[in-house]
Structure 1
Amino acid sequence: MKPSRPETPPPADAEARRAVAPVICYPVETLPQPDLALYRRAAAGMEKTGEVLVPPRAARCFEVPAGHIFRIRSVEGAQVGDLNLWNAADLSERFYSGKTRALHGTHLSTGDRMWSSFPGLRPMATITRDTLDWYGFDSFGGAVHDVIGTRCDPYTHNLLSGGQYHHCCHSNLTRALAAETGLPLDQAEAHVHDVLNVFMCTGFTRDTGQYFMKASPVRPGDYLEFFAEIDLLGALSACPGGDCSSEHSSDAAACYPLLVETFRPADGALDGWAPPAVNGYDRSHGM
């Protein structure tokens, strides 16, 4: 545990050092911006093409072609979900939560994008609608749809609590990907990655800087909508924490299903649009 009081006395200029203004690491003025007006026009005439119901404490995969739209919807009760995305043609290109966090912040909403891993580093999906955007940041510093938590997993559960729990989101996503692709479990597990915590309300405590969760404000009917920038394979886990108001990975929390819906824009709605190219860095690394 961290010591309750600092063990090192502060220097004479401690307050001046603390008062130094922060600098944004990645100014995003030159970041390519999504054409939300185009995406909204595409959604206006869209046709539903399918749906996948994700059972409580389980995960399911789904596919979304480039230029199509998908929604993650609450259907019965307050429930959070852990979302993984891959390039449908190449599992090595996957959602990069750390870089997404660095570019957009700790929590995502309308207009933010889910960026892919190196060397692709391109938008995989753009958030086009968020029915929880009203929440903002609360007085505890909590907000919804975070890219700071990793995913609940059986390894940390074993480390902290002992035992073998198999319905953590990491295991749920592993089983779902293995079932979808035919990969052995150990190979599928290597592709499971840090997530977008859909509907989860999280932040950091102001005194200890610890990651916290609190009851999700999601209601049945709420949804998070995405535009697929490339051909996507997705996997969504309905977290065993339910609304994450008290327990994180257990069979005690009330859990509910989540619905993934996919849609096709009307013909001609995306005229002139093309999927983003992979990142332009030449990969020479100075050699």
Structure 2
Amino acid sequence: MRYERHKKKKKKKWKAVLFVILLFIVGGFAYSYFQYKQGVSQSLEKAKNTVEQKEYKFNGKKDRYGGTNVLLLGSDSRGEEHSRADTIMIARYHPDKKSYKLISIMRDSYVEIPGHGKNRINTAFAKGGPELLRETIKENFDIDIQYYAIVDFEGFVQLIDEAFPKGVEVNVEKEMSHNIDVVIKPGLQYLDGEHLLGYVRFRHDKVGDFGRVQRQQEVVKQIGKQLTGIQTIPKLPKLIGVVTPFINTNMDTGDMLYIGKDFLSKDNRNIDSLRVPVDGAWEDADVNGAEVLAIDVEKNKEAIREFLQK
């Protein structure tokens, strides 16, 4: 009898424990959903432009080296149907190596676009959306890409302002103002979303687009360093909600939460970066009066292969 009473008490105890665990899980999902919807509502109230949630065909697949590649496209289309991609990046997460890599492709790279002949790589997006750009990258650089995300620049501004109320710390090397709608003074400072966007878009100096790409990669790394680890994870659902009205992607919310949570929970958030074309594998060229980057496809392809295998 005593044994049976003890057994019944033990069962009740485990039921209570399971109930508490279930309560935490349900509460966590409810909190995440509430934060996500709050982020969406907040953005819609402030939005001047949002991204058309057009469903693109995208035949991407997982990276053969075991990583997950996301084609990140920065856009300032303002509703234009055939806009070119202003920024082209490939973000790569490898779950086994716990590594994060970033490849920036110069938009003036002169490449073969399947079915359209040779042209600047950013025209692939205008002619055939993210799928044609994916095919172009695969044909020229042999990179498999599973997901795409087209982010409007207004979404970038709101995301930065939500994630970093004090701004992102950046050491600005020179005064910048031409064609970026803001004035940025040189020196170490905290930039809000609008000024940080101007900083990563500025390209009117001697190094042009090369300097712009370098600043973009530096800002991505700075954002990674300035995120506060486990303290930022509760903010993640709201951050995804904030950017949702400004993003068109084939990733579902679960995919974004998984990759984002894994990144934020790491102590070491080093992001290795590569610019394409790499040094010594391109030269300036003039094609029908347009300045382009004539690239050595094989040299760049080999540099990418080595970069992804590390």
Structure that is richer in helix per residue: 2
TM-score, normalised by the number of residues in structure 2 = 0.27
Between structure 1 and structure 2, the one with the greater Rg is 2
Q: Which has the higher contact order (CA 8 A, sep 6+)?
A: 1
TM-score, normalised by the number of residues in structure 1 = 0.29
